[in-house]
Amino acid sequence: QLQLVESGGGLVQAGGSLRLSCAASGLPFSLAVMGWFRQAPGKEREFVAAINRSGGNTLYADSMKGRCTISRDNAKNTVYLQMNSLKPEYPAVYYCAATFTLSIVTNPKQYAYWGHGTQVTVPS
């Protein structure tokens, strides 16, 4: 069965770093555009970053530029999100998603496959 499983979330102090992982199974991972999204309580799910099939192209939300890096290892069927200089904010659940579009897309409605999320908390 197709499955996306996020891991690596937790509580991190302001200014710290965290690396999220998303392990995929049951799908042709190397043919999928992969994205990361986040959702805070009472907020809509928002785009964070995405990476194309080969890993040669990436796209980041303006708020995340310079603070995170998305990467993938197709041999391990895994996509990562490295986050640095974390700022205090409302706790959010970070979701991994996959789409088989031909290029990077940012609308969550364009992603058909989702993990269950991993929570990230950066206290004040």
Average pLDDT, the chain: 96
Q: What is the pLDDT of residues 19-56, one digit of tens each?
A: 999 999 999 999 999 999 999 999 999 999 999 999 99
DSSP structure string for 37-93: EEE-TTS--EEEEEE-SSSS-EEE-GGGTTTEEEEEETTTTEEEEEE-S---EEEEE
Q: What is the pLDDT of residue 64?
A: 86
Higher pLDDT, 2 or 108: 108
